[in-house]
Amino acid sequence: MPEISLPTKIDITAGEKPNQAIISLQPFFPGYGITVGNALRRVLLSSLGGAAITAVKIKGANHEFSSLENIKEDMVEIILNLKKVAVKVHGDEPVRFGLKVKGEQIVKAGDFETGSNSEISNPDQEIATITDKDSEFEMEVIADKGHGFVTTESREGEDLEVGMIAIDAIYSPIVNVGIKTENVRVGKMTNYENLILTMETDGSIDAQTALNDASQILIDQFSFVLQSTEGTSKSPKKAKKSSKPKEEDEPKEEKEEKEEVAQVEEEAKDESETEK
């Protein structure tokens, strides 16, 4: 029976878009390219840890449906733009940072004044547009770490100060992942597979690190399955059957009949000895 071979080659090249990478893994045993690709894609999109802005406070805005004077965007648009800001948080606690700009201009993520415990990975991300040269725009945000997508409803227990508006948090650093397979030749076989992953991140993580983290998550899950079934994988040995039937396995009537015959033979033997 032929063994299921493992891939032996991996190539990572830059894609056409910023923060995009093309990853090629080959050669996979027939059918295993799409199997591994689907598992990696699901983990990359849903399970990698990251950071996101979870709340915002803007001077002059009391709720998420407020309109701001001399600002082109409304609060809904500004919140949508804040969700696109890629943040790195160094540490396990939530961090606060803000911005304050004046004059007619486009406010970008790079205008945030972050400390040593946080940084912005996409400083060109637009947040708002000031339309008057004498107007000011002041904002404070909270950023925190997490996994996947977390809605404001699931964070109802948060204790936010007055004026701070909660935001749905998109923690995943992966923007998009596409997979496809191509046939490659291995010896005389032409149906081995080349798995191609097209991965786009938000800039807070590189493709190699993301692939390593996703692979480790899958390894940890399968390791548990393997370890928990190791003790039960071997079937119990069957007891050897004895060639001689056990006395207790004989039918009760047959056993009594044998005892009566033995008793009769013993009495006949005694009578014969007496006559002699």
Q: What is the tens place of the pLDDT at every residue in 227-267?
A: 887 766 555 555 455 444 444 455 556 666 666 656 656 66
Q: So what's the pLDDT on residue 163? A: 86
Of 104, 70, 64, 103, residue with least CA distance to 82: 64
As beta bridge partners, residue 14 has: 21
- DSSP code for 245: P
Question: Taking the chain (276 residues) in consecutive chunks of 10 residues, what is each chunk's mean pLDDT?
Answer: 87 92 96 95 94 93 87 93 94 93 94 92 94 93 92 82 90 95 91 96 93 95 87 54 49 62 62 54
Per-residue pLDDT reduced to its tens digit, 24-42 = 999 999 999 999 999 999 9
E strand segments, the chain:
9-14, 20-28, 49-58, 87-89, 95-102, 105-108, 118-120, 126-130, 136-147, 149-150, 165-166, 169-170, 174-186, 189-201
Q: So what's the pLDDT on residue 154? A: 86
For the domain covering 9-47+174-214, report its CATH number: 3.30.1360.10
If one counts every other C-beta atom within 10 angstroms of the C-beta of residue 110, the result is 14
User: What tokens does 68 get?
Assistant: 């701001």
Q: So what's the pLDDT on residue 274? A: 54
> Is residue 23 a contact partner of residue 12, using CB atoms and an 8 Å limit?
yes
- Residue type at 218? L
What gap in Å lies between CA 196 and CA 36, rounded to an integer?
Answer: 11
Q: So what's the pLDDT on residue 228? A: 83
Q: Where are the domains of the chain?
A: 9-47+174-214, 50-170
Please state, in angstroms and as integers, the Cα–Cα distance from residue 126 to each residue in 73, 89, 133, 230, following that order. 11, 20, 18, 54
Q: So what's the pLDDT on residue 268? A: 58
- Give yes or no on whether 9-47+174-214 and 50-170 have one common fold: no
Q: So what's the pLDDT on residue 73? A: 92
- CATH (one of 1.10.287.70, 3.90.550.10, 3.40.50.720, 2.170.120.12) for 50-170: 2.170.120.12
Q: So what's the pLDDT on residue 159? A: 81
> Is residue 128 a contact partner of residue 166, using CB atoms and an 8 Å limit?
no
